[in-house]
Every structure is written in C-alpha cells, then in structure tokens.
Structure 1
Amino acid sequence: MLGALSAFPAMAIDMYLPGMPVMAEDLRADPGLVQLTVTVFVAGLAVGQVVAGPLSDAWGRRPLLVCGLITFVVGSLACLVVPTVGWLITARVVQSLGAAAATVLSRAVVRDHFEGSAMTRFLSTLMLVNGVATIVAPVVGGQLLGVAPWRAVFLVLAVVGAALLLLVVLRLPESLPQERRQPAHLGASLRTFAQVCRDVSYLRYVLAAALMFASLFAYISGSSFVLQEIYGLSAQQYSVVFAVNALGIALLGQANTLLVGRVAGEHTLLGVSLGIGTVAGLGVLVSTLADLPLATLLVCLFLVVSMLGPVLANATSLAMAPHASSAGAAASVQGVLQYLVGGLVASTMAALGEASAVAMGAAIFLSAAAALLVFSSRRRESGPARRRERAAGAEHAVVQGSIPSCRCGRTVAEAAPSATC
C-alpha cells in the first residue's frame, strides 16, 4: 500500500504520456499546452509536499493521507470531463496536490515505524514498486489508448486513487502518536523547517540524492531523441530500453535490501552506488563524444539509471533518521529538492535543444559527479551531530510499540549517547 502511494507521481505522469498527441487533437490545443500539463503537475508535486509534510507533523499522517487521496480522485475525475486544455491544466494541478501528499507521507509513515537498516530495506522496497510502476504505467496507458479514448486513463487513475483511499481508511492506522506531534501553527512549522535545514548531514544526503535524481531527469529528457534520431532505434526498441532501465532501478533497490545491515551499512552502500553512477555517467559522456558503439552507451545508461534505486533508499534513510518528530517536514524538503534540481536540469537541456547527444551525456555525468562530490564533502561536525549520524546507521530496526535494542543488548536510547555499539 505504501509502495503504491509513493508511486503516484510515476503513475500520474507516465500513464498518459502516450496519449498526449491524441489529447492535443481532441482538445484542439497546441501540443505545447498539452505538454504544460506535465510541467504544472511537477510544480504541484513540489508545492504540495511543502504543505502536506509539516501539516502531517501536527495533525497526523492519516488525516492528511485521506485528504490527499480525495484530492487526487477529484482531480482525476475532473481531468476525465474537461472541455478545454485550460481546464485540463487546472485539473492536473489539483491532481498533483493529492499525489504530493501521498508520496511525501508514504516516506513519513516509514520513518514513524522504522529506523536504521530496517528503514533502508523498506525504502528499497518502495523503490522496487516505483520501478515497476514506471515500467507498467506507459504500457497500460498505451494499451488503453488502443481500446478507449484518452480520458479512460484518468478514469483508471481515479479508480486506483479510490481503491487506495479505501485501503487507507480501513487498514492504515495512525503512525504518529499525539505526544510526538508538532504545534499546529505557522511559526512552529517554520521553526521545524529551520531545524531540519540546519542539519548539515541531512542536507548533504538529500542534496546528493537530488543531484543523482537529476541525472534521471536528464536521461528522460534526452534519451528519446538521442536513441531514436541519432542511434536509429525504433519506438518499440526505445520502449524496451526504457523498461529495462526502469527494471534496473527496481532490481538494484531490491538488492540493496539484501545487502544493507548484512554486508555493509547505508553510508558505505550510498558511497559505492554514487561512485558507480559517476563512473557510468562518465561512460555515457565519453560514448557520446567518441561515437562509441550503441551497446557501450546502453550499458553505461543502465548502470547510471539503476544506481538511483540504492542511492535514494540509503540517502533517504540516513537523512530522515534523526528527524523522528518532524519526518513530514524532512520528507517534504527532500521531495522539493529532488523535483527542483531535476526540473532545472531538464529545463537547461530543453534550452540547449534536442540536437546534441553530448548535452545529455554531460548533464548525466555532471549531475552524478556533483552528487558524489556533495556526499564526499563531510564537514567535521560537533559531537552530538556525529553521534546522531552514527546512530542512524546502526544495524537495527524500530517498530512502534516495541523496545528497540542494539546487538550489545542495550536499548537504542542507552547505546546511542556513547555510540560504541
């Protein structure tokens, strides 16, 4: 259920992409205006996360999830009946606000229940679901277009939203107890944001994740033209490449669940993943500069895209670990940074035009290299901050209602101050 909630953006964007040309024709609209429905959706995701995260820290996760899902269903139904592209853009904004609440609160709920390696494993599972959704959504959308009008896509999204709303109401208990909630007023929310943003370790992890996420935006923005127009792949062949790379995100995310806490900790796995992604990004750039065989480019693309699975899971776990009482705000800042940095990279590529494979390669490499650089720039921090970071990477889990213990037999509260476990 949480995986499906976190995959709302992928479903709501990827499922209707195959129908955009038909939408423009049916609504008698300029294709650029139809493409704007994607832009406003991404902007709504950013704004919605800023609002939903802190509110959930004050009012609880469940009420905000219910409101978000209702908003998503209403927005989807509005997309189903819009008469003009202007109304479609408006409906997509409403839909995006609901999707934002779902995706940011799914991470907050995970933080409420788990910490340490258990949280990382669960977040890796969310990445698996996201990867599968990225593969399945365009296929479902394309198949629907073969048998129904483009509006049927939004009917399916409304049904999915309604089903998840029912599951949340019936099966998802509140994960944030009253005693851990923040005061429900603007000043308190701003102080919570300030507290989160003053955490240097948190900012390092979320910025590294956002920069790596930007490499995915660069790939999505440029790969269609580069692989089809320059390297000569057909639309069907390109869809296979896209699906394989999305599957790589899911598989590497799942591999991360098997490795974390058993073979290595989150910090080590994050560094290795960023290193591999940077080397692979360099391979993409060199492939485009030197006109290397297509197979070389595809292998490098697969590696850099696949690393997003373990990078997001480990970085999110490490970033959110010290922020149990402000998980909503912490998750919202991360979400906004991801889409902001990714949007800047995609906009830069759009300004450069579609004529250069080198632009895609450079954007992918520079994003991955910047992520590795940010991750590597560890400042010497004060004792308490360093102890919090070490405690965040400890190999144990906390399930609400149980007494967490370290391998030495002491509780986390007893072990963390000395950080000797």
Structure 2
Amino acid sequence: MRDLVCLPQTRLAYALILGALAALGPLCTDLYLPALPDIAQQFTAPTSVVQLTLTATLLGLGVGQLLFGPLSDSLGRRRTLLSSLVLFVVASLGCTLATDIHQLLVARLLQGIAGSGGIVLSRAIARDLYQGHELTRFYALLMMINGVAPIGAPVLGGELLRLVDWRGIFAVLTTIVLLLTLASTLQVRETLPPQQRTPGGLRQTLQQIRQLLTLRPFMGLCLAQGFTIAGMFAYIGASSFVLQQLYGLTPQQFSLCFAVNGIGLILMAQVAARLSNQLGEIHVLQGGLILAMSAASLLVLAGLCHAPLPLVLICLFFSVTVNSVIGTTSVSRAMQAVSPESGGAASALLGLAMFALGALSVPFTGLGGTSMLTMSLTILGCYAIAVLLYWRVHGWQGRRARGR
C-alpha cells in the first residue's frame, strides 16, 4: 500500500497536507467571522440574515461530503479531491464578486459543498493508511494541524480588515486554496487501489449509506460527535456578535479570543491521544462528554448572571476545546467500526452529521435576538442531546477492557 501511495518522507509531512485539506472547513467558517458585522452594514441586512451565510456554508460542508466521500470510494481519492478544490476556487471567486446578500448566500453554499471534499477525503485517506491506535494518533495529529486554522483564520481576518474590506478576505481565501490545489497536485497520490474501490455508481453508494445507517455502534458515535460539533458551531455563529456588539470587543480583540480557543483545541487533541493510549478511547470519550456538559452548564449560569467578560471567556474556553477530546476519540472509533471499502461513505456521514447539525444550531442562537444566553443555551442543548444519544446506543462503559 505504501509503495502505491508514494508517501512523503515522514508521517508529519503527509499529515501537514491532509491537515491543510481538513482545515478548509475552519477557513470557510472562521476567516470571515470578524467581518460579519461589516457585511450586515454594507448589505443593510439583519443579523439573522447575515448569519445564514454561515448556515449555508455549514449545510454545504455537510451535504457535500455525501457527494465526495462515496464518489471517492468509486473513483479514487486523488481525482475526487482535485475536482473539489477546483470547485472551491470558483465558489470563492463568487463570494468575492457578490453584489447582494442573496448572491453571497448562494456562493457560500457552493463554497461549503466544495470545501467538504478536503475534509471528507483527509479522513478517508488516513483510514486507508492507518488503523487501531495508530489511526487515533494520526487523527490527533491532523486535529493539531487543523487547529491552526481556527487560531490563524480569525486573527488573519481581523488584521486583513485593517487593509481591505470583507471582499478582500475572500480574495485571500481564493489564493490560499489555489496554493493548496498546487500542493495536492504535486504531493497527494492515490491511496485506494482500483481493486478495493466500490463499483456500482449512485445505487451502490446509497446502499452503502443505508447499511451504515443501520450500524448502531457507528451511528451512535456519529450522532454524538455531530451534536457536540453543533454546539461548537453555535459558538462560532454567535460569538462575533456577542463579543463585539454586546461586550464591545474590536474585530482584532475578538479574533485573539477566538485564537486562544483554537490553541486549546490543539492541546486537547494531544491530551486525548495520550490518555486514549493509557485509559482507552471509550473512557476518554465519556470523560469528554461529562466535561462538555459541565462547562456548558457553567456558561449558561454566566449568561443568566450577566457575568463579566473574563469569566465568560473561561467558560467558553472549556465549552469549545472539549470538542477535540470528543472528536478525536469518537471519529477514530467510528471509522474503525466500518470496513476500508466504506471509508469514504462513513467519513461522509460523519461530516454530514457535524455540519448539517451545526447549520441547524446556528439559527437557534438568534431566536429573539442573538445574546449570551441564547448562545449558551444552544450549546448546552446540543451537548445534552449528544450525551443522551451516546448513552442510549452505547451505555456507559466502566471496564477498561471495553474502552480499548
């Protein structure tokens, strides 16, 4: 297999490429966050309508994975990946040239669909190359690299607003993806040999998805991960308005706060990988779910008590960074529950759950007007559903041997 793949010299080098591809999601969602108030002002659109540009992207990121994941199982990883990157460049140009909020919504939807290719294929390629604890370690490495995007994207977006308007931000994103397309063309090789591909086109793809939907262990982890990520996207969609308009932060100050949480995501991913080796993935996952509920409950209390900004930021930090603990372990366990031939379809369903549920959670933060309380309640609700679904499907395992 490794001879076929023609891997770069080290695992880290290959992880850098796959991590950058996985980072297309955060780049889509986070780079323009500091500019959301400016977009609302330029298009004279309500906050709730401007938030739909994020919702459209999340829907695209989710639904697109149902296209690119199974397609890669049939046609191969490399060809599918390069096609998605070309579409991303076109959609990014559309965002740059949009003349009203409706055109921007359509372009953002297409951008999300295209960006899903890099996300779903980075997971599928990793599944082609690794298994067991090695796969968990590699996913943790991907999450560490991927975590640079949530750190750098809003900071870069905030600094770019000193020089250009929001259109310039999308122009920079177009340039970034052009460079990534070139790197992928030169470095990424096929990891799914023709004899392991799934023939049969759309009918076979739908059959694979139906089989996965009936696979209880996989779906339990898939939905638990999806609702946890939905809570984080509630934070992503509302935090720029909450922290800038309600707490008075500048775009640069907001981006720095956002970056601190991104650093936390990186650190938590590495902690999860280490603890998984010692305690077992299931134990670490369950601990992450408990931490998520605890942190989100404190965040709701902070909103009810109109807590000062430092306390709010501390609660937000733990409410957000716990996603790395749950994500690293749940995705690894879910992907190990399926065969390599279904890796693309499984990765697609994981991505669909994350981004589609995330798209649904964002509008809830704007009910009655975006506020600290609506954001925190949405986060807590998503985490509570994740815990309930996990418990209903898997139970709460207490023996170490079962956590491996």
TM-score (norm 1): 0.82
Instruction: For residue 378 of structure 1, report the CA deviation from its aligned partner.
Output: 4.1
Find the partner of 1:139 among 155, 158, 171: 155
Which segment drifts farther, 331-340 or 90-99?
A: 90-99
Instruction: For residue 12 of structure 1, report the CA deviation from its aligned partner.
Output: 2.0
Which residue is 1:102 aligned to?
A: 118
Which residue is 2:14 aligned to?
A: none
Find the partner of 1:276 among 275, 291, 301: 291
Find the partner of 2:332 among 317, 341, 345: 317
Q: How does 1:119-134 map to 2 (within 5 A)?
A: 119-134=135-150
Structure-2 change in CA distance of 1:222 and 1:341 (3 Å): same
Which residue is 1:405 aligned to?
A: none
- Write the deviation string for residues 331-387 of structure 1: whole angstroms up to 9, x where unpaired: 1111111122222222222224225x333333222322322232233459xxxxxxx
Which residue is 2:322 aligned to?
A: 307
Tell me the number of residue pairs that the alignment of Structure 1 and Structure 2 aligns. Answer: 382
Which residue is 2:85 aligned to?
A: 69
Which residue is 2:54 aligned to?
A: 38
TM-score (norm 2): 0.85
Instruction: For residue 159 of structure 1, report the CA deviation from its aligned partner.
Output: 2.0
Structure 2 counterpart of 1:173, one-letter code: R
Q: How does 1:169-180 map to 2 (within 5 A)?
A: 169-180=185-196
- Write the deviation string for residues 32-54 of structure 1: whole angstroms up to 9, x where unpaired: 66544333222222221111111
Structure 1 position 188 matched with structure 2 position 204:
yes
Structure-2 change in CA distance of 1:30 and 1:233 (3 Å): closer
Structure-2 change in CA distance of 1:371 and 1:172 (3 Å): same
Find the partner of 1:287 among 297, 302, 308: 302
CA contact (8 A) 1:121 1:260 kept: no
Secondary structure of 2:341's counterpart equals coil
Structure-2 change in CA distance of 1:233 and 1:44 (3 Å): closer
Which segment drifts farther, 273-282 or 65-74?
A: 273-282
Structure-2 change in CA distance of 1:93 and 1:264 (3 Å): same
Counterpart-to-counterpart distance in 2, 1:373 and 1:271: 12
Find the partner of 1:215 among 215, 225, 231: 231
Instruction: For residue 80 of structure 1, report the CA deviation from its aligned partner.
Output: 3.3
Counterpart-to-counterpart distance in 2, 1:351 and 1:150: 26
- Write the deviation string for residues 277-316 of structure 1: whole angstroms up to 9, x where unpaired: 1111222223333455554443332112111012111100
Counterpart-to-counterpart distance in 2, 1:202 and 1:58: 21
Q: How does 1:80-91 map to 2 (within 5 A)?
A: 80-91=96-107
Structure 1 position 18 matched with structure 2 position 18:
no
Instruction: For residue 4 of structure 1, report the CA deviation from its aligned partner.
Output: 0.8
Counterpart-to-counterpart distance in 1, 2:186 and 2:344: 22
Instruction: For residue 103 of structure 1, report the CA deviation from its aligned partner.
Output: 1.0
Find the partner of 1:240 among 236, 256, 275: 256
Q: How does 1:253-402 map to 2 (within 5 A)?
A: 253-261=269-277, 263-291=278-306, 294-323=309-338, 324-355=340-371, 357-378=372-393
Structure 1 position 198 matched with structure 2 position 198:
no
Structure-2 change in CA distance of 1:20 and 1:288 (3 Å): closer
Counterpart-to-counterpart distance in 1, 2:145 and 2:54: 22
CA contact (8 A) 1:124 1:310 kept: no
Structure 1 counterpart of 2:107, one-letter code: A
Secondary structure of 1:326's counterpart equals helix
Which segment drifts farther, 357-366 or 123-132?
A: 357-366
Which segment drifts farther, 207-216 or 73-82?
A: 73-82
Please list every run of 5 or more consecutive structure 1 residues that lacks an aligned counterpart in the other structure.
Answer: 381-389, 395-421
CA contact (8 A) 2:56 2:359 kept: no
Structure 2 counterpart of 1:373, one-letter code: L
Counterpart-to-counterpart distance in 1, 2:366 and 2:130: 40
Structure 1 counterpart of 2:369, one-letter code: G
Structure-2 change in CA distance of 1:142 and 1:284 (3 Å): closer
CA contact (8 A) 2:66 2:349 kept: yes
Which residue is 2:10 aligned to?
A: none
Structure-2 change in CA distance of 1:318 and 1:299 (3 Å): same
Secondary structure of 2:147's counterpart equals helix
Counterpart-to-counterpart distance in 2, 1:167 and 1:153: 21
Structure-2 change in CA distance of 1:155 and 1:291 (3 Å): closer
Please list every run of 5 or more consecutive structure 2 residues that lacks an aligned counterpart in the other structure.
Answer: 1-16, 396-400
Instruction: For residue 182 of structure 1, report the CA deviation from its aligned partner.
Output: 1.1
Structure 1 counterpart of 2:279, one-letter code: A
Structure 1 counterpart of 2:235, one-letter code: Y
Structure 1 counterpart of 2:116, one-letter code: A
Structure 1 position 155 matched with structure 2 position 188:
no
Structure 1 counterpart of 2:349, one-letter code: V
Structure-2 change in CA distance of 1:312 and 1:255 (3 Å): same
Q: Which structure: greater helix fraction? A: 2
CA contact (8 A) 2:158 2:251 kept: no
Counterpart-to-counterpart distance in 1, 2:368 and 2:139: 35
Counterpart-to-counterpart distance in 1, 2:248 and 2:50: 27
CA contact (8 A) 2:299 2:376 kept: yes
Secondary structure of 2:370's counterpart equals coil
Secondary structure of 2:141's counterpart equals helix
